[in-house]
Structure 1
Amino acid sequence: MTLYFQDYSGGPNATVIEITGHPDGLLGFTRFGAIFCTDDPITEGFAESSAQIARAQGLYVTSALDGSNTHVLISIVFTNEEYKGSTLEVQGSSAQFERVREVAVVGGTGKFRLARGYATFETIHYDHTLYYAVIQCNVTVLHY
């Protein structure tokens, strides 16, 4: 399954915020101990105007002293007709400076009960003036 996270890390419609905050207001993705909350829309296609099928809701924590890894705790909460109310639970260490990052799918609910597998994330578009990124997520799972 391929999903597209529509990620805004700034501006009035931010979908990622730093919980720990910082005096200068800049997000500290590489600052050890920084904690972020996210609620990204997930679409079926690359374009932001593509049909929304889910939300990515959860936390990221910069967990490496040098800022190279974040620990990811994300629920992919489906909102589309086919999987509405079902979730996939993604967790693991994400090497945030790698082109493709891989984390585990550790569970799921609804149509994805007992899901196990993996998800890869790749930032395929970034506009730093809008603080906007499109992250392609490929999910491979086994479930009942």
Structure 2
Amino acid sequence: MEKLVICTCTWLLLLLFTATTTTVMGKYYSRSHVVDSPTTVKKTKLHFFLHDIISGKNPSSVLVAKPNGTIVQEGNIVPFGSVYVFDDPLTVGPSPNSEVIGNARGLYASISRGSDLTLLFNGDLEFTSGEFNGSSISVFSRDPLVLTKELAIVGGRGKFRMANGFIINNAIFFNVTSGDAILEFHVTVFH
């Protein structure tokens, strides 16, 4: 009987010690501290064009998920729940034959059930030539399907590391039947 009491007490002490140690050691944060940062923030303005081609034999944007159980209205190329991935060229001018300066890669999804067609745009705009070669701008924003809109810059890589800012996006060409578009980007980025 005495062995049973000693054994039970040992187990209780071990259980109590383990439970309190875990609680004390578990932290989900660290102490805040001052970080040296640049004293100046650069503001850069960029202007380029994005070519999003859904039609044809070599599209730059493809449907990867379509809605299940959603009634698709005639002529609606992005019904609620549609998800597209894209690898679109970025060019100096609006012509598809103008100089390519980078690419936009990511996805967009239709997130609106109403008449206000809206996409969720998640993309990385990488520059492959010029002063910003190898750098990119990260965009994550609500994207209403209107001619002029604003998109949020939430980060970047290379020379645009820790960037923020905005893009004024103008649709200079949009084919409502095919979904093909040429978008003009006026970018203001702080980095």
Q: Quickly name the TM-score band, shorter chain normalised.
A: 0.7 to 0.9
Contact kept in structure 2, 1:102 and 1:121, CA below 8 Å: yes
Change (3 A) 1:132 1:68: closer
Partner of 1:109: 157
TM-score by length of 1: 0.87
Q: Structure 1 residue 81 and structure 2 residue 102: aligned?
A: no
Unaligned runs of 5+ in 2: 1-45, 68-74
TM-superposition CA deviations, 1:8-64 (whole Å, max 9, x none):
111111011111147xxx8731x1111010111000111111110010100101111
Counterpart residue type for residue 173 of structure 2: H
By how many angstroms is 1:130 displaced?
7.1
By how many angstroms is 1:112 displaced?
0.7
More strand by share: 1
More helix by share: 2
Structure number with larger C-alpha Rg: 2
By how many angstroms is 1:85 displaced?
1.4
TM-superposition CA deviations, 1:115-138 (whole Å, max 9, x none):
110012111023568764211011
Q: Structure 1 residue 92 and structure 2 residue 144: aligned?
A: no
- Report runs of 4+ in structure 1 exceeding 2 Å deviation: 126-133
Change (3 A) 1:131 1:34: closer
Change (3 A) 1:90 1:5: same
Contact kept in structure 2, 1:88 and 1:115, CA below 8 Å: yes
SS for the counterpart of 1:19 is strand
TM-superposition CA deviations, 1:45-104 (whole Å, max 9, x none):
1111111001010010111122621110010011113222111001111111x2211110
Q: Point out the more displaced range, 123-132 or 113-122.
A: 123-132
Q: Structure 1 residue 43 and structure 2 residue 88: aligned?
A: no
Ranked by relative contact order (alpha carbons within 8 Å, sequence separation 6 or more), the top structure is 1
Q: Structure 1 residue 10 and structure 2 residue 52: aligned?
A: no
Counterpart residue type for residue 94 of structure 1: D
SS for the counterpart of 1:48 is coil
RMSD: 2.3
The separation in 1 between residues aligned to 2:178 and 2:80, in whole angstroms, is 25
The separation in 1 between residues aligned to 2:84 and 2:180, in whole angstroms, is 16
Decide which of 62, 66, 69 is 2:110's aligned counterpart.
62
Contact kept in structure 2, 1:73 and 1:91, CA below 8 Å: yes
Q: Structure 1 residue 53 and structure 2 residue 101: aligned?
A: yes
Partner of 1:121: 169
